[in-house]
DNA sequence: GGTTTTAGGTACACGACTGTATCTAAAACT
DNA sequence: AGTTTTAGATACAGTCGTGTACCTAAAACC
């Protein structure tokens, strides 16, 4: 800092640290997440990190909790199919963000401890109204267009599960065509609206 | 080795190394997999490992390829539902083996490169006839009990996807009741046999 | 303006893992 | 029995991450 020596502090510094942590986690996987790498990426000395957190996992959880909340689906009134596809699109976009990849890697970590995952779900997802297609399905059930009895935990998870698996298999975005296939061939039949029927 | 000094060689040694590699990967996650840890667990000097592999990832892929193949579902003739549930049960059991957890962690690794995953699929899964429920569904389609046109990539993946997601969410075995729910509420409706219909 | 807080910048000893390089002795082959 | 192969047991320098400590100077507070 030879000339423009401004010193970050408080929120500005925290934001830089959080961004660095999430970016590092997405690149390295939380298993390889280190204080050192976060500090380097945030261009701050490690001592600053150790003053607040004792371990990179704690830091990452704070970082994820602090992030802007995920964009929510905003279902309309009479396009269930389109709204479901849009919800899955939102999910894909989120999943390929740094935060999404960090969360994925935490959840799939064989060394994960239940406390970490619980903390993650409570702090990161509790604020949200549920999963992506869940929001849409509940909305249409409230408007009497879906039998609420159909919305079991299994059914509410179909879309997210298929998207997740496809991303794991391919390592890439499933693509809109595949999202449509998920809606037409799995979700709609499960709520009793099989497009193949009349 | 003071007294019973027998020296492993060839297959016996390889088996010990492979077992150690898979066990390490399952415990540590492939991201944290090190030559050192494998060598210690296999009680062999690192030099022995470096003579054959240059990197723990290569070693792990060989180890996974060498493993006993996964148990296959053996569908009967007239119990589609039961056979699907049994296939998902097989999948859960495999997923919680060392090999299953190692594979899961490889696939979910944000730092995975496509070549590794391709190699994994070719070498580990190519020998098998496909995924777990896939085997069952194809069997019943061949016997004329399912419309083959229904067996799209999405539909063939529903069971595995829901099991995978549930395991990631819970970090534990989904339990037989949940497997039944998957079959009844997701797979069967998707192939046009919705139990909720007449 | 003086004081308190806290980021920036180093340094250090420790441990883990890496590749490589020996040397030895047990298996395997002839 | 003699030879070849290769596992076992070190050792070593190099790199990376850890925690901790210490000093300095910029922000923030009064």
Convert the pLDDT of each residue in B61-81 to its tens digit: 999 888 877 778 888 888 999
Question: Is residue B194's beta carbon less than 7 angstroms from any atom in nucleic acid strand C?
Answer: no
CATH 1.10.357.10 occupies which residues in chain B? Answer: 80-190
Q: Rounded to whole angstroms, how far apart are CA atoms A121 and B137?
A: 35
**pLDDT greater than 90 at residue B22:** yes
What's the whole-number average pLDDT of chain B?
Answer: 88
| Best CA proximity match to B87, nearest among B159, B161, B151, B166 | B159
For the record, the structure tokens of B13 come out as 């040694």
Q: Rounded to whole angstroms, how far apart are CA atoms B97 and B80?
A: 26
Kindly state the average pLDDT of the residues B95-117: 82
The percent of residues in chain A predicted with pLDDT above 90, rounded, is 56
Coil, helix or strand at residue B68: coil
Q: Which of residues 120-179 of A touch B (CB under 8 A)?
A: 150, 152-155, 157-158, 160-162, 164-166, 168-169, 171, 178
Q: Strand C: which positions are within 7 A of a protein CB?
A: 6-11, 16-22, 26-28
Q: What is the pLDDT of residue A127?
A: 56
- Helix, strand, coil share (%) of chain A residues, nearest 5: 70, 0, 30
**pLDDT greater than 70 at residue B50:** yes
Q: What is the pLDDT of residue A14?
A: 95
**CA angle, A165 then B61 then B29, to 5°:** 65
A161 closest CB neighbour out of B29, B101, B162: B162
The percent of residues in chain B predicted with pLDDT above 70, rounded, is 94
DSSP, residue by residue, A28-79 = H-GGG--HHHHHHHHT--HHHHHHH-SSHHHHHHHHHHHSPPPPPP---SS-
If pLDDT is split at 50, 70 and 90, which confidence band does A1 have? Answer: very low
If pLDDT is split at 50, 70 and 90, which confidence band does A45 have? Answer: very high
Q: What is the pLDDT of residue A117?
A: 84
Kindly state the average pLDDT of the residues A90-107: 87
The residue ranking higher by pLDDT, B158 or A66, is: B158
**pLDDT greater than 50 at residue A67:** yes
Q: What is the pLDDT of residue A2?
A: 37
- Give tens-digit pLDDT for A168-182: 888 899 999 999 999
**pLDDT greater than 50 at residue A72:** yes
A64 within 8 A of A124, measured Cβ to Cβ:
yes
Range scoring the smallest mean pLDDT among B41-55, B126-140, B150-164: B126-140
Identify, with chain letter, the residue nearest to nucleotide D19 (CA–C1').
A50
Q: What is the pLDDT of residue B5?
A: 60
Range scoring the smallest mean pLDDT among A115-119, B48-52, B78-82, B127-131: B127-131
- DSSP single-letter state for residue A174: -
Kindly state the average pLDDT of the residues A134-144: 93
Please list every residue in chain A whose beta carbon sits closer than 8 Å to the beta carbon of residue B114. 171
Question: Is residue B13's beta carbon less than 7 angstroms from any atom in nucleic acid strand D?
Answer: yes
- Interface mutation target, options B21, B23, B29, chain A, most CBs of A under 10 Å: B29
Q: Rounded to whole angstroms, how far apart are CA atoms A137 and B173?
A: 26
Lookup: nucleotide whose C1' is closest to A38 CA: D17
- DSSP single-letter state for residue B150: G
CATH 1.10.10.60 occupies which residues in chain A? Answer: 10-66
All residues at 6 or more sequence positions from A162 whose CB lies less than 8 Å from its CB, including other chains: A182, A186, B154, B157, B158, B161
Kindly state the average pLDDT of the residues A105-128: 77
The percent of residues in chain B predicted with pLDDT above 90, rounded, is 56
Kindly state the average pLDDT of the residues B171-194: 96
Kindly state the average pLDDT of the residues B190-197: 88
Q: Rounded to whole angstroms, how far apart are CA atoms A43 and A24?
A: 13
Q: Which CATH class is domain A10-66?
A: mainly alpha
Coil, helix or strand at residue B195: coil
Fold of the domain built from segment(s) A80-190: Tetracycline Repressor; domain 2 (1.10.357)
- Using a 10 angstrom Cβ sphere, with 0-12 exposed, 13-18 middle and 19 or more buried, the burial of residue B30 is buried
């Amino acid at each position: 800092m030879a000339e423009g020596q401004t010193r970050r502090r408080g929120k500005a510094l925290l934001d830089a640290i959080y961004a660095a942590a999430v970016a590092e986690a997405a690149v390295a996987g939380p298993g390889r997440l280190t204080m050192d790498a976060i500090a380097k990426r945030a261009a701050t000395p490690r001592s600053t990190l150790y003053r607040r957190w004792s371990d990179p996992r704690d830091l990452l959880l704070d970082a994820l909790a602090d992030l802007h909340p995920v964009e929510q689906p905003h279902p309309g009134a009479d396009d269930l199919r389109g709204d479901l596809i849009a919800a899955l699109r939102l999910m894909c976009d989120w999943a390929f963000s740094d935060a999404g990849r960090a969360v994925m890697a935490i959840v799939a970590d064989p060394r994960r401890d239940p406390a970490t995952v619980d903390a993650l779900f409570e702090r990161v997802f509790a604020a949200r109204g549920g999963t992506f297609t869940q929001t849409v399905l509940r909305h249409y059930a409230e408007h009497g267009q879906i039998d609420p009895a159909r919305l079991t935990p299994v059914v509410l998870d179909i879309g997210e599960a298929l998207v997740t698996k496809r991303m794991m298999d391919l390592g890439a975005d499933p693509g809109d065509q595949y999202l449509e296939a998920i809606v037409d061939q799995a979700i709609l039949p499960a709520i009793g609206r099989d497009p193949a029927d009349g």
